[in-house]
Structure 1
Amino acid sequence: MLKHIKTLLKGNIFLIAILITISIAYLSLMKMPQYQPTISNLDKWEHSFAYFTLSISWLFVFYKKPQKKYLIVLVCIIYGIIIEILQQTLTDYRTGDYLDVLANSSGVLLGLLIFNQILKKNQLN
């Protein structure tokens, strides 16, 4: 079963990374319903998770080119900054927030950390 999942992901990881990238842009720029989260700063956790997913998916797309991983991390962070700027400038129902940029960046850096650990583990086996 695990082998089938690996095969499925391996052939489609580029498409998955594109879909994640588009989904983040869509969800970041669409009008969201108003809700009162019961967990404080829940949106920052959501930002971190989204950008963790973004970075790790792109890192796996280019995992055979480890020299590009820092470029991928930089591009993911810049993407997060651009999305925050677009929220501020294109919409009147969303606002850009530097704390969101920090949450996005922390998710990207966590993705890099986890990716490095996965590669390290796979090289030892």
Structure 2
Amino acid sequence: MTKRIKNLLKDKLTIIAILITLSIAIISLIKLGKVPIQITHIDKLEHVFAYFVLSLVWLLALKATKINKYIIIFCCFLYGIIIEALQITVTSYRSGEILDIIANSTGILIAFIIYNYFFKKKKAI
């Protein structure tokens, strides 16, 4: 029974990772309305959370493959930079910021640390 659940989750995690990736792109590039309550720098926490989830799901989805976890992390980092560049070049209503890239990187780093903590390989003595 647990083997079936693991197999289902393994296949679904890749689909979920793709959907999260697309969702971040869409949310980052669409025009959003005014927020009724403004909280200073709350968007940075949203960036941290979004890229934490993105990185962790990709790491888990590709855990059983031969793809190196550092390449996955690098791709998530590069994806964040590309999204920020697209906000500057493609849209007139969004702005890319260095602080957003730092927030994205923070989320990626937290996901990487947590992933390594829970999935570190035990070394033989």
Which structure 1 residue ranges, 5 or more long, are not aligned? none
Cα contact 2:14–2:62 (8 A) shared by 1? no
**One-letter amino acid of the structure 1 residue matched with residue 52 of structure 2:** F
Q: CA deviation at 1:41?
A: 1.2
Equivalents in 1 of 2:103, 2:68: separation in Å? 23
1:36-75: CA deviation from partner (whole Å, max 9, x where unpaired): 5454311000001000011011101221347610111111
Q: 1:64 to 1:5 in 2, by over 3 A?
A: closer
Q: Corresponding residue for 1:11?
A: 11
Matches within 5 A, 1:1-125: 6=6, 8-65=8-65, 68-120=68-120
1:67-103: CA deviation from partner (whole Å, max 9, x where unpaired): 6101111110010000000001100100000000000
Instruction: Find runs of 4+ consecutive structure 1 residues off by over 6 angstroms.
Output: 2-5
Equivalents in 1 of 2:5, 2:28: separation in Å? 29
Q: Percent identity?
A: 48
Task: Tell me the TM-score normalized by structure 1.
Answer: 0.86
Equivalents in 2 of 1:3, 1:62: separation in Å? 17
**One-letter amino acid of the structure 2 residue matched with residue 84 of structure 1:** E
**One-letter amino acid of the structure 1 residue matched with residue 102 of structure 2:** L
Equivalents in 1 of 2:65, 2:11: separation in Å? 17
**One-letter amino acid of the structure 2 residue matched with residue 90 of structure 1:** V
Secondary structure (helix, strand or coil) at the match of 1:35 reads coil
Deviates most, 10-19 or 95-104: 10-19
Which structure 2 residue ranges, 5 or more long, are not aligned? none
Equivalents in 2 of 1:113, 1:83: separation in Å? 23
Task: Tell me the TM-score normalized by structure 2.
Answer: 0.86
Aligned length: 123
